[in-house]
Amino acid sequence: QQIYELNSRLIGNTSHSRGGTGRKEYYGGIPIDEWSLTAHGLIAAISAFVSSNNEINIKGANVVIQGYGNVGAATAIKLEKNGAKIVGASDINAGLWEPTGLNIKEMNSIRNQVGGLGNYTGKVEKFFDSNQLNWLLEAPCDILVPAARTNVITSRNADRIQCKVILQGANAPINKMTEYYLIKKRGIVSLSDFIVNSGGVIGCALEIAMQTDEVLKKVVLAADVRSYTENLIKKIISNNIREVISQINQKNKTD
C-alpha cells in the first residue's frame, strides 16, 4: 500500500498501474497470500490434470510438500479438503514423513513459530533435520509439491524421485532437461511452474487492470472480488493445462 501511495503522489493520480499490487482489499487491492491465490491455482492445475489421467486422483493421493510456507501450507489444506493425504512436509527447520498422514492443523499452528516444523509433536516415521531436508523429495508419494527453492530436483536426484506427478509450487524447482528425463525415462510428469503457480500473478494482473479500467472494476465488484479472482485463476490455469495436454497428445499421434 505504501508503494502504491508513493507512486500516486509522484504521478498525481490515484488510479494507476505503477506498483503496489497484492494490497488489502480495503485499499482496493487483491491480497495474494491472504487469499492463497497461488495455492488456488495449483489446485486448479492438478484437478485439470487428473481429469485427463486415469492413473492418479486427488482423493486418496499421498502428497509430499517441500517448503511449508504460505504456498505450501495453503496447498496442503486445499489438497486435504479434496481427499488427499499429506504424508510429508518440510520447512527450513525440519522434514516430516508419516505414511498414515500428518496433522495439518498442528503444522499450520506451528509453522510460523521459532523452529517451525521442528516443533511438531505428532506421529512421524522419519524426522529429517535441517541438513537432510532434500531427502524428503525422494520419499514415495503420488504428488510431489516443491514449494520453496529453485533447482531442488536435478540430475543428482532424478533417479531417486518416487512420485507420479510433480506440481511445481516454487519458481524453477527443476530444469527442463531433468523434466525431459523424468517423463521419458521415469514416466514422471512435471507440471511446470509458469503454468501452474501463476495464480498470484493473475491476481496481480487483475488488480492492476481494475485500477485503470472502470468497466472491468464494476464487473469484478458486482461479482465479489475474491470469487471473481478465484474463478478467473481456475479458468485460465485449467484451460492452459488442458491445452498443453491436448498438444502433447496430438504430437504423440503424429510421432
pLDDT at position 25: 81
CB 223 within 8 A of CB 253: no
For residues 117-127, average pLDDT:
97
Strand pairing of 95-97 and 126-128?
A: antiparallel
For residues 118-127, average pLDDT:
97
Please enumerate, as own/partner, the contacts of 173-176 that have beta carbons within 8 Å and a separation of 24 or more: 173/146, 173/148, 173/149, 174/146, 175/151
Which of 80, 49, 37 lies closest to 227, judged by CA?
37
How much is the pTM? Answer: 0.90
For residues 208-226, average pLDDT:
94
Q: Summarize pLDDT for 19-66 with one digit per residue, the tens.
A: 666 778 877 789 999 999 999 999 999 999 999 887 899 999 999 999
Strand partners, 206: none
Taking 90 as the threshold, does the pLDDT of residue 167 lie above it? yes
For residues 172-184, average pLDDT:
94
